[in-house]
Structure 1
Amino acid sequence: MAEPPEIRIGTVEREDAMKRLSDHFAAGRLSVAEFDERSGIVAAALTRGDLEQVFTDLPEPVSEKPVPAERRSLLGSIPPERIMPVVPIIALILFLVTHQWLFFLLIPLAGAVLFGGQGRDRRRRAERRDRRRRLDRGQED
């Protein structure tokens, strides 16, 4: 049920309206002059009705789906799958240059650093899936 337009608004509602208005401006739906004019109306708004008049000819915002986070390595945007094959080569070069076998320990260390959290994530997803299944079965019974 929609609330009456006479309801007074606060700073949070004005800031939300300014963000929505900025999104419409960024999408190219408003000119600079229109954005400036509507921003003034939003800043001076006292009721919900004052805000509604600013958005009457603009479409409703589309809810954005969260973008899944890509797996990132310590080296930024280079995925771990591209780094790991290079690690043994680097370890071998360092061994040949320094004659220290300890550089071969870099290989499992790099694997743990680059891929260490993936097993934990898989376990958490499996636990959530199992919990959902148990809840679904409980609701069906």
Structure 2
Amino acid sequence: MRLSSMADYAVVTMRAAAQHCGGSRASATQLAEETGIPLPTTQKLISLLSRGGLLKSMRGAGGGIQLARPAAAISLTDIIEAVEGPIAMTACVERGRHDCALEPSCQVKPHWGAVNDAIRGALDNVSLASLSDTAPVRLTESAHA
């Protein structure tokens, strides 16, 4: 499993936005320069992340972009789902999806929900604030349960 480039860039963009917490608001241009992500991609990410309730943007003098809530209250799950939609390891764990030819006889289907929940739980346990620290992220014990 690999995150899409957009989900990866969204995490990088959110980390850069978090670095401005408590200070002045950042602009899309500033975030693009700080992250190395092209401006059009940064603008698209800001739009998706704003729609997902993670960023707020204000127009006019003193305007710019800021986190919609504290970095400690934003998880990797929040960021990834704002860009990619609900986390689903397979189609059969997505609500309403029944497009797998093996579904009626699949012996693994009953277990995919637990796998999906474990991955989602691990991502839930990594906050944006922890990504702003210089020390590597350490998962809590509950992430391994």
The answer, yes or no, to whether TM exceeds 0.5 is no
TM-score, normalisation: structure 1: 0.26
